[in-house]
């Protein structure tokens, strides 16, 4: 898990690796499970790293090659998901999920197949999965076809909450709660500095120092004193901040390649890009009145700081 985390530019902190282990333990006892938690908690990465680690460990003990098939059930209609009859010709058309399940079931090998439904749980489509998730392990289609799941298939659902899931569905699944707060935001900064362009590598430590000095205090001030127009998650706004810095860095590198007289030196733009991104990510989610408060707080916080 640690090796695959480094290979994917992720930080194998204890909170992350323990969730990967919990996911593996759940797959050994359940063929249906749910990864529950808000965006930015690491649900997809946890799933990906474990699959890659199991594949790399193929042949060792009970570990075997693991393949993932990912889809978003809420992005399509019920007919496209499970299959439907044409109203005019009464011809049956297979759905995406039924096709995936049939293909995985018909494969004659011992590879693990994870069918990942990455999207909100809806009371409409999830109820049709109850026969799949219980001990019957059968997908019953409107056409009368019944597909029996093989022992190598595992149904996984990446969801934000279980507000509309019925107790019948929840009781059939293993549950793994992944909380962004446990992961923290520092890991995002560490992974980001590792993939900085070569021209900005020498300034990675300066970015980290600015991150430690201002990001967590800014998030704390945002949560306690400001009013947001839309609810956000800490990891999400920090990821947005790092993407804004990425855009500014690309712009600076592009200007260097051009023949224009305007040249931006990397050492001169480290602090400028950081505070610009901080204002337009963490400071941009609040209403107009709160923006004035954030402006005053940031000016007070940077007063006397020679790095700012």
Q: What pLDDT digit, counting tens, does each position of 148-205 carry?
A: 998 899 999 999 888 888 888 888 889 999 888 888 889 999 999 988 888 888 888 9
Rounded to whole angstroms, how far apart are CA atoms 66 and 50?
Answer: 9
Of 124-128, 190-194, 261-265, the range with the highest mean pLDDT is 190-194
For the stretch 72-116, pLDDT in tens is 998 888 888 898 888 888 888 899 999 999 999 998 888 899 999
Q: Residue 263 has what pLDDT?
A: 60
Q: Residue 267 has what pLDDT?
A: 72
Residue 149 has which token pair? 């799941």
- Please name every residue paired with 35 in a beta bridge, in sequence order, or none if there are none: 158, 176
Rounded to whole angstroms, how far apart are CA atoms 17 and 187?
Answer: 13
Q: Residue 306 has what pLDDT?
A: 63
CB within 8 Å of 173: residues ≥ 6 apart = 30, 32, 33, 34, 133, 157
**Cβ–Cβ < 8 Å for 85, 142:** yes
Residue from 295, 297, 193, 288 nearest 245 by CA: 193
In eight-state DSSP terms, residue 14 is: H
- Please name every residue paired with 118 in a beta bridge, in sequence order, or none if there are none: 158
- In the structure, what pLDDT confidence band is assigned to residue 220 with cuts at 50, 70 and 90? very high
Question: C-alpha dihedral over 43, 46, 52, 54, to 10 degrees?
Answer: -120
Phi-psi region of 127 (alpha: psi -120 to 50; beta: other; left: phi over 0): alpha
Q: Where are the beta strands (DSSP E) in 100-234?
A: 112-118, 138-140, 146-148, 153-159, 174-177
Rounded to whole angstroms, how far apart are CA atoms 77 and 116?
Answer: 17
Q: What's the predicted TM-score (pTM) here?
A: 0.84
DSSP 28-74: HH-SEEEEE--TTSSHHHHHHHHHHHHHHTTTSTT---EEEEEE-GG
Q: Residue 99 has what pLDDT?
A: 92
H-state helical runs in 234-281: 234-257, 266-279
Q: What's the rounded mean pLDDT across residues 113-133? A: 86
Q: What's the rounded mean pLDDT across residues 256-285? A: 79
Q: What's the rounded mean pLDDT across residues 119-147? A: 86
Rounded to whole angstroms, how far apart are CA atoms 217 and 198?
Answer: 29
Whether pLDDT at 240 is above 90: yes
Q: What's the rounded mean pLDDT across residues 133-141? A: 88
Q: Residue 264 has what pLDDT?
A: 67
């Amino acid at each position: 898990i640690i090796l695959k985390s480094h290979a994917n530019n992720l930080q194998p902190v204890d909170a992350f690796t323990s969730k990967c282990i919990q996911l593996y333990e759940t797959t050994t006892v359940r063929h249906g499970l749910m990864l529950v938690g808000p965006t930015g908690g690491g649900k997809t990465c946890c799933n990906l790293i474990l699959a890659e680690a199991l594949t790399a460990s193929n042949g060792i003990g009970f570990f075997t090659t693991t393949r993932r098939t990912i889809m978003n059930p809420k992005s399509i209609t019920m007919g496209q998901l499970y299959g439907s009859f044409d109203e005019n010709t009464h011809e049956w058309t297979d759905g995406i999920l039924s096709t995936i399940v049939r293909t995985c079931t018909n494969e004659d090998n011992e590879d693990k197949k994870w069918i990942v439904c990455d999207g909100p749980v809806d009371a409409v489509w999830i109820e049709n999965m109850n026969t799949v998730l219980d001990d019957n392990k059968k997908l019953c289609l409107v056409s009368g076809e019944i597909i029996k799941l093989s022992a190598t298939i595992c149904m996984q659902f990446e969801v934000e909450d279980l507000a509309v899931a019925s107790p019948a569905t929840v009781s059939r699944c293993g549950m793994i709660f992944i909380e962004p707060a446990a992961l923290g935001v520092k890991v995002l900064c560490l992974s980001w500095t590792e993939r900085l362009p070569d021209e900005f590598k020498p300034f990675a430590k300066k970015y980290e120092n600015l991150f430690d000095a201002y990001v967590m205090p800014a998030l704390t001030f945002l949560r306690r004193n400001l009013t947001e127009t839309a609810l956000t998650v800490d990891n999400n706004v920090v990821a947005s901040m790092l993407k804004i810095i990425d855009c500014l860095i690309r712009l600076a590198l592009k200007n260097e390649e051009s023949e224009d007289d305007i040249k931006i030196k990397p050492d001169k733009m480290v602090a400028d890009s950081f505070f610009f991104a901080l204002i337009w990510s963490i400071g941009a989610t609040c209403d107009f009145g709160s923006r004035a408060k954030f402006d005053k707080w940031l000016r007070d916080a940077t007063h006397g700081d020679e790095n700012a």
